[in-house]
Amino acid sequence: MNMRLLAASAVLAFSAPLVAQDKPASDAEKAAPVDAQVKARDLVGTFGGQRIAYRATVAETVISSDDDAPEAVIVTTSYVKSPRDTSRPVFFIYNGGPGSGSVWLQMGAWGPKRVAIPSDARDDGAPPYPILDNPDSLLDVADLVFIDPPGTGFSYLTPGTDPKKYYGLREDAGAVAEVIRRWNSPKYLGGESYGTTRTAMVVDELEGGTFNDVGLNGLILVSTILDFAAREPTPGNEMAYVVTLPNMAAAAYYHGKVQAPSVAAIAEEARQFAIGPFATALLKGQDLPQTERAAVRAELSRLTGLSEDYLDRANLRVTAPRFYKELLRDRGLTIGRLDARYTGEDYDSAGEYPDNDPSFYGIDAGYTAAVNSWLRDGLGFETDREYQSIGREPGRHWNWSMSSGGGRSAYLNVAPLIGKAMRENSGLRLFNAQGYYDFATPFFGAEYSLNRFGIPQDRVELHYYDAGHMMYVRDEDRTKLSSDIRAFIRAR
């Protein structure tokens, strides 16, 4: 595929297009030409204590086949300091899913505007949801480009385009890498959740793949998932229980089920127990002696707040969904998956799993309303399409294989790609942010994947926050996250 850079002059300067080897479509199969839309407004705001003039641009970029038939339209929202300075760092940002639009990081963390929702794990309620100036935006240290990959946000595939060409680990990375290429400016790349997986794939495309060694300065990962085998609690996969245990201890601490000096303290206790006696016990399986089982069960109960009877009946192996339901069963409440600080009320208290995730339905309405209001009314973007905050279409077709053959790898781990990029680029550094109360991408799982051999530890920074998957929903952690990233970018 190649890219017709119809929006480049209004957003960023890109390099030459990539040519693919796909079989050309017939004239009947070709999609109609796309008149790429670009909307720009000049604005002023205060970010990181600095008063900054900037240009906000919403632009469509068309990716075409080698015979110039449009296949995908990618929408980016960029915020560039005025006047433009090509020596300034550029931070390219996306969310996860796969299928999630960039709304969460744009309207919650680093965009110049943010949606105001409760900071203390309460439901966001009914509209209207105020859109406020965001002093925590990173525009004081970098230009920002928020990318909605195909099938997310307002981005889409044209009629007749085969979803298999864009929906997959490498397919998606190739499309995103097309948008990221630019001239000799310091470049930072990062995302949230599956966006961290995407980062590993994109850096492999840029530094070691199709794009002839496009160098990067830093990777910024938020709520990291690189090693998927460590998160699947299928029978016999004991590592999933090991990496989730510290999250259970943190959640139990937050809700008053266990006592400790701090969440960091209980998390460290749980780490040491998880990687030591707990992992040993799980690996022994049915050969585990009863005395050792009893000792492990007692400590597991102390750390998680679950009864020894419940733990015994679960064979010491409690899945995260069971924990959401069981921890506060005596209060008639469930806890959140994305953020265990949130609580919800199910239809009844007798079930094994919660009805829904209170930490998602507690924030989604506010974010969806805000991004539509800001992009359409605030920046003038015109479209009849619905903004896909969490689009289902990409996931229905996703190729989870690292190769083009399709099918999910038995052991999907993209962390080695980050290690390779860092070993081959001595200037590449990594920033990792994790919330203590995030079960979707457990913090101990991120630590485990990032301390494997081959990843230079002297260029890896680990940061922790007192919230969940989207730690920036908590006001104090949004400010701390931005401050930490400012320091990371300035230290280049």
Smallest CA-to-CA distance from 445 within 415, 477, 416, 420 is with 415
pLDDT of residue 229: 81
Residues 90-137: pLDDT tens digits?
Answer: 999 999 999 999 999 999 999 999 999 889 988 888 989 999 999 999
- Compute how many other C-beta atoms are within 10 angstroms of the C-beta atom of residue 32: 9
* Orientation of helix 263-273 relative to helix 239-254, angle to 10°: 160
Q: Which of 360, 382, 416 is the last residue of a domain?
A: 360
**Cα–Cα dist 44/269, whole Å:** 47
Q: Each residue of 384-413: b (16+ CB within 10 Å) or e?
A: eeebbbbbebbeebbbeebeeeeeeeeebb
Are 180 and 244 found together in one domain? Answer: no
Residues 66 and 188 in one domain: yes
Neighbouring-strand partners of residue 44: 53
Phi-psi region of 315 (alpha: psi -120 to 50; beta: other; left: phi over 0): left
Nearest-CA neighbor of 468 among 441, 436, 432? Answer: 436
Residues 338 and 421 in one domain: no
Residue 18 is predicted with a pLDDT of: 31
Q: What is the DSSP string of 249-300?
A: HHHHHHTTSS--S-HHHHHHHHHHHIIIIIHHHHHHGGG--HHHHHHHHHHH
- Inter-residue contact 119 to 112 (CB < 8 Å): no
Structural domain harbouring 449: 2-228+364-490
Q: 237 in helix, strand or coil?
A: coil
Paired tokens of 451: 């301390």
The end-to-end CA distance of the chain, in Å, is 34
Residues whose CB is less than 8 angstroms from the CB of residue 165 and which lie 6 or more positions away in sequence, other chains included: 1, 22, 71, 171
pLDDT at 30 over 80: no
Q: Do 248 and 155 have their domain in common?
A: no
6 and 71 assigned to the same domain: yes
CATH (domain of 448): 3.40.50.1820
The reported pTM is 0.91
Q: What is the largest CA-CA distance in the chain?
A: 74
Which region among 4-13, 154-163, 191-200, 230-239 has the lowest average model confidence (pLDDT)? 4-13
- Give percent above pLDDT 90 in the chain: 78
- The per-residue pLDDT for 9 is 33
Round the CA-based radius of gyration of the chain to a whole number and report it. Answer: 23
Say if residue 12's pLDDT is above 70.
no
pLDDT digits (tens, 9 = 90+) for 31-62: 678 888 999 999 999 999 999 999 999 999 99
Q: Over the stretch 416-458, which tens digit does the pLDDT of each residue have?
A: 999 999 999 999 999 999 999 999 999 999 999 999 999 999 9
If one counts the domains in the chain, the total is 2
- Rounded to an integer, what is the distance from CA 347 to the centroid of its chain? 31
61 by DSSP, 3-state: which?
A: strand
More confident residue, 63 or 2: 63
Q: Is 258 in the same domain as 154?
A: no
Residue 229 CA from chain centroid, whole number: 18
> Which pLDDT value is given to residue 11?
40
The pLDDT assigned to 105 comes to: 97
pLDDT band at 4 (very low <50, low <70, confident <90, very high): very low
Among the candidates 340, 360, 380, a domain finishes at 360
Reported as a pLDDT band with limits 50, 70 and 90, residue 20 is very low
Same domain for 310 and 371: no
**pLDDT over 70 percentage in the chain:** 91
Pair (175, 306) in one structural domain: no
- Co-location of 217 and 239 in the same domain: no
| In a shared domain, residues 27 and 47 | yes
pLDDT tens-digit profile of 307-336? Answer: 999 999 999 999 999 999 999 999 999 999
Is the Cβ–Cβ distance between 435 and 443 less than 8 Å?
Answer: yes
264 and 147 together in one domain: no
